[in-house]
Structure formats: C-alpha cells, structure tokens
Amino acid sequence: MSLTPEALYYQLGSLLAETPELAGPATAETDQWIARAVELVEQAGDLADKIQLHVATENLHGMLRARNARTIRDIVQRALAKAEANAPPRSQGAFIVANNTFDAFAAVRRVLATAHAKVLLVDPEADGKALTDVALLAPDSVVVRLLADRVNHKQSLESATQRWIQRFGSARPLFVRLAPAGILHDTLILIDGTTAWALGLSLSKLVKLTSTTLVRMPEATASALTAAYATRWDAAAPLLSA
C-alpha cells in the first residue's frame, strides 16, 4: 500500500527512532525492524539504495556485520531525508538524527535554542551532566526546570545544581525537582509549554551514544504531555531544601 509523503516521512522517522542493535545477535525484533525498513525504503529510496539494502540485510549476520549495520542505517536515513523533502512544510523537521556525540549535542542545542521563556527537561536518571552538558545549552534568559526520579537520579545532580546556583544565581534560573519513584518513563524536552521532543536515552548518555533520534511530538501529543508533566512537576519535591 502506497503511503502519502507525510505518512512515509513519519513512519521512516519513527523507524529510525526505534532502531535496535543491528550489529548484535539476531532477534525477532531486529527481523521485524528490517522487514519494515525494506518496505519503507521501497517507497522512498532510489534503485541503488534498494539494491544495497537487500545485500546488506542478507549479509547482516556475516563477517561484516558492523559494516552492514551501518549501511542499513545510512540507507534508511537517506530515505528519511528524501521523504522529508517531499513532506508538507508543517511536518518537516520532526526528526533530528544524530550519529555521534557531536551531532547529538548540536541537535539538542538546536532544540533548546527555540525556547523563549522556559524549558522543562524530564529525565528519570538525570545526573550532573544533564545540567553541565545539556541545560547549559539553553539560552541565557530561559528558565530551566529539571524533573528527575527520586530513586533513579544520580548523586552528582545535587552538587551540579548547587554549583549552577552559585555561579549563575537569578541570572539563569534553575529549578530541580524529584518525582515519586516510577512515574517518569521518558526523556523529554518540553519547550515553552507548547513543543515536546522525545529522546531515546538519558541526557547523561549523550556523550556515550553511537546514534539517537530526537522526535518532535505531534501538536495534540505535545499538549497532553505538557499538561501531564505540569501536574507531575507540581507534585514533585525540590531537590534542594530552601
């Protein structure tokens, strides 16, 4: 069944955001992902990519496993870029693919740069790097809030919060709260209460990644997430005592 350009773009982006460890052992999840990749590239890719994808998938678990895994991901990324160019302008830019640490931080900076008033970072496993590596990328005038899990956050978060407050004071307002254990399941960047981006890993793991995809949520989903996390923020306890 042929997809509309917009539907093809969203399906390819979602596929990349859910990429399994292709160079690892064969699993049912990997096989299903590859079958879907082949189906979507058939609609979006050019003939050379279709042929190359067939060869790479057929030999994925051979001697050149890592190389074939990279080839598959590269082909799907090219298909995404082509699909984005054909998608309506309102949909373009919903997926930002990062293949290394530098690209990941550039992508996060690009997202945070769109904030005008406030940012809410949601990361159950946040540590000090969530502030020193990520929150610092927000514009100077923007209020930064970070919501972490009471049990799963790392101890370095408290010392990093103290250093931030000592260094910036009210010039760069920061508020950190801890939610009850188990209610946070996603890593999110919520911008100005209107835009929501999802990441596939903890903010502190950006420096270790091999690849990730930032996904901009549809407007209705962003609105629901913003409301839900506003409630969770209100119910959370400050990390530092007043």
pLDDT in tens, 97-146: 888 888 888 889 999 999 999 999 999 999 999 999 999 999 998 999 99
Contact 140, 167 (CB under 8 A): no
Annotated domain spans of the chain: 5-86, 95-238
60, pLDDT greater than 80: yes
pLDDT at 1: 63
pLDDT at 76: 94
Bridge partners of 95?
Answer: 215
Bridge partners of 121?
Answer: 146, 189
When mean pLDDT is compared across 5-9, 37-41, 58-62, the lowest value belongs to 58-62
pLDDT at 209: 67
DSSP-derived 3-state class of residue 226 = helix
Q: Tell me the average pLDDT of the chain.
A: 90
71, pLDDT greater than 80: yes
pLDDT at 241: 60
Backbone Cα Rg of the chain: 20
151, pLDDT greater than 80: yes
Instruction: Enter the tokens of residue 200.
Output: 């596939």
pLDDT > 90 in the chain, percent: 63
State the fold for domain 95-238: Endonuclease; Chain A (3.30.870)
Q: How do 212-216 and 95-98 pair as beta strands?
A: antiparallel
pLDDT tens for each residue of 182-229: 899 889 999 999 999 998 788 888 877 667 889 999 888 999 999 999
pLDDT at 174: 96
Give the residue among 62, 60, 80, 83 at the shortest CA–CA distance from 70.
Answer: 60
Phi, psi of 101 (to 5 degrees): -60, -45
Q: Residue 88 class from Cβ within 10 Å (0-12 exposed, 13-18 middle, 19+ buried)? A: exposed
pLDDT at 64: 85
75, pLDDT greater than 90: yes
pLDDT band per the 50, 70, 90 thresholds, residue 21: confident
List CB contacts of 93: < 8 A, sequence separation 6 or more: 84, 216
Phi, psi of 168 (to 5 degrees): -105, -30
